Chain A
Amino acid sequence: MIEKLKGYREEGKELLEKNQIEIWDIVQIKTRKTQYEGIVLPRIEHSAPNFINIKLENNYNIGVKVSEILEINKIGKKEASYKIPEKDFPHNKALPILKLFGTGGTIASRLDYTTGAVIPSFTPGELFSAVPELAEICNLECEIVFEILSENMKPHNWQKLAEKVKDAANSGIDGVVIGHGTDTMSYTSTALSFMLKDLSIPVVLVGSQRSSDRPSSDAALNLINAAVVASSDIAEVVLTMLGSPSHEYGLIHRGTLVRKMHSSVRHTFRTIDSIPLGLVQNRKIKMFTTDYRKKSKKSTQTFPNFESKIALVYSYPGNDNKLINFYIDKGYKGIVLIGTGLGHVSTNLYESIERAIQEGITVLMTTQTLHGFIGMNVYSTGRELLNMGVIPGKNLLPEVAYVKLGWVLGQTSNPEEIKHLINKNIAGEFLEREIPIAFNYNIDELLKNKKL
């Protein structure tokens, strides 16, 4: 239920209150120049205070200036009440049982046509009526774990998800799909990769770049692709989203090597420093490698502990010791430096980095080029930082290094064990070699030239 005058303030609110008019009232408005009839709509937050929002009879919305209004009269009310159609999700014994966890992304949703607000739809029945193809792939169980925007995800959310996945894996579910906002999806995929040991089933994170209330949405196809991957033998935490601007195929990315690389396009996710594990198209999977963990009968375990006092510090011309000193003073346990080039920072920061290490803070180096390995033996800056005790993060993406460091520090506080765990390849996050096409691979072209 929306509050009676949602979004209205100052003149707009005064006028409505004075005339005892609420949102959803049908009103006749007489202005200095003309008259309108329509439904009073909620006002968009933070917009100009001196207008009233009206949905006209022809369905167009407009704003009417308060100072132009001579008279406003209520002539009725049209409360919007929306129901999402539900159809029973058919059961088919021959198909795998998948569990879909919702975290708040809008994999399937519908639009409130009046306010433009997105109403998520999530029960199997709702999903079935929106994406009936799912019933040809799997049996579906759904559970909303939380409803938050992905930028508001916190480590405790990852921990809860990890437990949910473990329970599912150990109770005979064939695969897990996690609907997730795309902004921090790769943080979650990384966290789950570390927190879940001996994972026995596929865990597939999926989202959409265009919300599912528009006909062109990528949500349905991504969901279908995710269900196919979750029904496969890939027992890893992976992320499946469209691989090109076309609605043709989805790519399967390893959870610890993937990054959102564009603010808005559909094929925003790319595997960095390597190529994706495979692709999914027309409900079939084509793997580009055999080097992935297969499904097993092992019991899935969780190691969810996480140290959240980890800072990500970007190196840039002109920064100084204050920032790192701040984190030290605030009791942070780990710092991931996002250095320049091969893993450098300005000598301006030396003093605070040395202090951090002396005070027992783990400092891990990554690069803002995102692509390529850290190489701290090439220039004197690198050697000096190594000498101080900075740990080179090899090919780790800054965000992956952040999650890994938090997880490692959650497991142990022993300096030797910390070093050992950081350098250990736990969830496929480290690469031994970078294949030459990794930097600028184009899957469309590789497919066209039959190189995959």
Chain B
Amino acid sequence: MTQQYDYEKLGLKCGLEIHQQLDTKKKLFCRCPAILQGTREPDFTISREMRPVLGEMGTYDQAMLTEYEKGMGITYEGYNDVVCTYELDDTPPFSCNNEARRIALQIATLLNANIIEEMHVCRKNYLDGSVPCGFQRTMILGTEGYLTLESGKKIRIDILSLEEEAARKIKTENKINYFRLDRLGIPLIEVTTKPDINNPEECRECAERIGLLLWSTKVKKVLGSIRQDVNVSIEAGTRIEIKGVQKLGWIPLLINHEISRQLNLLVIKEELRRRKLNENNIQNKPIDLSNSLKNIKSSFLAKGIKSGKKIYGINFSGFKELFGKELMEDYRFGTEISSKVKLISGLKGIIHSDEELIKYNLSNEDINIIKEKLGTKEKDCFILVLGTKNECIKAMDVIITRVKFAFKGVPPETRRALENGNTEFLRELHGGARLYPDTDSEPIFNYEEELNEIKKSLPEYPWITIKQYSEKYKTEERIIKDLIFTGKIDLFDKLIKLYPNNPSLIFTTLLETTTALRREEKNIENITDDDYVEIFSLLKKKEISKEAIEELMSIKADSPELSINQIKKKLKIESISISELNSFIDEIVKKNLKLIKEKEMRAKGPLMGEVMKKVRGKIDGAVVSKELENSIKKTLKEMK
């Protein structure tokens, strides 16, 4: 359903928020190594809770309350060698990491931003547990920059901030969220554009350009080190923040689906008006149906009641078919309500009467009881939930609030991107008031001399590099882009210096061969830059042939403890000299004189196979081919 819209007519406005981890030795506000620990078992755990704090106007932020009401416990997992008492919110911050600040200044300069002379560290509240102190430390470093798209259109950069990465969520179990603290505090730059983007493809290109630009500086170049959020609004709808867009390719689809969702919510709003329904007439009192449904046929509902759970129901008068209305592909208004219920109350979902109730094994008798108790008439729709009393009450609260919002249109929300291009509710849109000064830290200065120094050694814009490289090395721009996005452009530079004659072999090795090996589930992260340098040195010295590269890499991936040279010895790869090759060829030619006489030059094919059997990996196939051809020609001449 990649429906195309008239984006101009819709008044589509998109903005991007891009987060990128910087590649520093230490974290931003403490001196812990900025190294992720992968699946390593943690050394310790601690448990915490978060409470909402009063906001600027003496009220609680709705997003914070929603988070608190989920009633989730928090467990932090840490390692003694990469987590200190600072990350546990048990020690005040240390001074700001200068390495991180300089990288951020370089990025800000590349984005033509105005640099803030005196930065003030601010706190941004987070109650989901992802930051143990309950807020992220962040500071604005640049304003009013811009980025130029291929078309020449300028997208304005609103702000650039330097901040701390949050902890990584490991799992949720028994209403406890588990966070690993190794990632917490790694320096992060946030680039926010103005809503200058007016169509989905432009949005993808802009995200790609910002990504390329970031990856041409000293940032972490691994999966997950860059994250994109997209803000989408249409004139009749509202602004929605879509978090966690993992691939650039998702962006156009996500935007189109969001447009579809908003337009259909507006259709529902219009339909409600047409049906002359009123928000104030929405029922506020859900009904406990557990007693009436004691003998219910549906086995899972019966099991629930038996285990002490409750069934609550509510009737929405005049709502027939609205919950079944499709908003995005495979996503109805009912899905919208259900996913919000799931997230806030922890229930598995809802049952609504626009669904095929047969899939829940509800008998007609059951349905009649429900309808009678809830007062559901022909044009109505009912919703049921199953859970503990508290869960049901909380879920019903969510349902009523969301249904009421249907009269207003599209609720402003932060939504999570899903792989199929859809999104689901993540949290209420945070109010602006959750930024306040960090009283634990001093102002941080960016000095003019420092900036001038940075301006002297700026890297080239990646889109220019891409053009230059693709011309110089006669390859598609896509290949160079891939090199940048796999973090291998620097390695390429190193290898091409070492082995200048065959750039396409380097491209193939760094991109195709690694992809092929990864597909075989080889752990190619075990192959270091130095290993590639070693491989190409051997190639240069003609100690191996290019046919041996893949096998060397494959073994290195399996046995990282071996050096390339050790692997080479183990494989008995030794290269042979041309005279050695010629003696092999002579031998084979002599054995096959009859074949040569018969087929003349066409004998080369089968003979090539035989020679290669003996010399594969030890000498370049092209050399073999040439020498074999000479030898056959010579033999034929002699025969004549």
Q: B47–A48 contact, CB under 8 A?
A: no
Q: In whole angstroms, what is the CA distance A133 to B169 when docked?
A: 29
User: Which chain B residues in 67-88 approach chain A with CB under 8 Å?
Assistant: 85, 88
Among B90, B118, B438, the residue within 8 A (CB) of A64 is B118
Interface centre among A36, A61, A114 (most CB of B within 10 A): A61
Q: B48–A265 contact, CB under 8 A?
A: no
In this complex, what residue of A is CB-closest to B44?
Answer: A245
Nearest CB of B to A123, in Å:
14
In this complex, what residue of B is CB-closest to A52?
Answer: B118
Nearest CB of A to B574, in Å:
59
What 1/0 flags go to A218-251 for Cβ under 8 Å of B?
Answer: 0011000000000000000000000011111000
A93 at the interface (CB under 8 A from B): no
Give the number of chain B interface residues (Cβ < 8 Å).
55
Q: A215–B135 contact, CB under 8 A?
A: yes
Among B56, B89, B118, B127, the residue within 8 A (CB) of A48 is B118
Nearest CB of A to B145, in Å:
10
B477 at the interface (CB under 8 A from A): no
B49 at the interface (CB under 8 A from A): yes
Q: A214–B133 contact, CB under 8 A?
A: yes
Nearest CB of B to A240, in Å:
17
In this complex, what residue of B is CB-closest to A83?
Answer: B58
B125 at the interface (CB under 8 A from A): yes
Among A33, A217, A247, the residue within 8 A (CB) of B114 is A33
Q: B125–A47 contact, CB under 8 A?
A: no
Find chain B residues with CB under 8 A from A220 CB. 51
B411 at the interface (CB under 8 A from A): no
B91 at the interface (CB under 8 A from A): yes
B122 at the interface (CB under 8 A from A): yes
Q: In whole angstroms, what is the CA distance A53 to B438 when docked?
A: 14
Q: In whole angstroms, what is the CA distance A56 to B142 when docked?
A: 12
Number of A-B contacts (CB under 8 A): 140
Nearest CB of B to A157, in Å:
25
Find chain B residues with CB under 8 A from A117 CB. 439
Q: A245–B117 contact, CB under 8 A?
A: no
B120 at the interface (CB under 8 A from A): yes
Stretch at the interface among B219-227, B428-436, B604-612: B428-436
User: Which chain A residues in 54-104 approach chain B with CB under 8 Å?
Assistant: 56, 58-65, 68, 82-85
Q: In whole angstroms, what is the CA distance A248 to B76 when docked?
A: 13
B46 at the interface (CB under 8 A from A): yes
Find chain B residues with CB under 8 A from A270 CB. none
Among B55, B120, B434, B442, the residue within 8 A (CB) of A61 is B120
Nearest CB of A to B532, in Å:
43
In this complex, what residue of A is CB-closest to B131?
Answer: A216
Q: B90–A266 contact, CB under 8 A?
A: yes
A51 at the interface (CB under 8 A from B): yes
Interface centre among A62, A210, A248 (most CB of B within 10 A): A62
Q: B132–A264 contact, CB under 8 A?
A: no
Q: A85–B118 contact, CB under 8 A?
A: no
Q: B58–A82 contact, CB under 8 A?
A: yes
Nearest CB of A to B167, in Å:
12
Nearest CB of B to A329, in Å:
40
Q: B48–A44 contact, CB under 8 A?
A: no
Q: A264–B58 contact, CB under 8 A?
A: no
Find chain B residues with CB under 8 A from A111 CB. 53-54, 436
Q: In whole angstroms, what is the CA distance A209 to B140 when docked?
A: 28
A34 at the interface (CB under 8 A from B): yes
A146 at the interface (CB under 8 A from B): no
B103 at the interface (CB under 8 A from A): no
Q: In whole angstroms, what is the CA distance A68 to B115 when docked?
A: 12
A318 at the interface (CB under 8 A from B): no
Q: A116–B51 contact, CB under 8 A?
A: no
B11 at the interface (CB under 8 A from A): no
Binding site for B on A (CB under 8 A): 33-34, 36, 44, 47-48, 51, 53, 56, 58-65, 68, 82-85, 110-111, 113-118, 130, 209-210, 212-217, 220-221, 244-248, 263-266
- Give 11 pairs: A residue, B residue, CB < 8 Å, sorted on A: A60-B139, A60-B435, A84-B54, A111-B53, A113-B433, A113-B435, A130-B54, A210-B133, A220-B51, A263-B91, A264-B92
Besides A34-B143, A220-B51, 18 new A-B residue pairs in contact (Cβ under 8 A), listed by A number:
A47-B443, A56-B140, A58-B159, A59-B122, A60-B140, A60-B161, A60-B435, A63-B443, A84-B58, A110-B53, A116-B438, A210-B133, A215-B50, A215-B125, A215-B126, A216-B134, A263-B91, A264-B91
Q: Which 5 A-B pairs have the closest CB atoms?
A: A215-B134, A63-B118, A116-B437, A59-B435, A61-B120
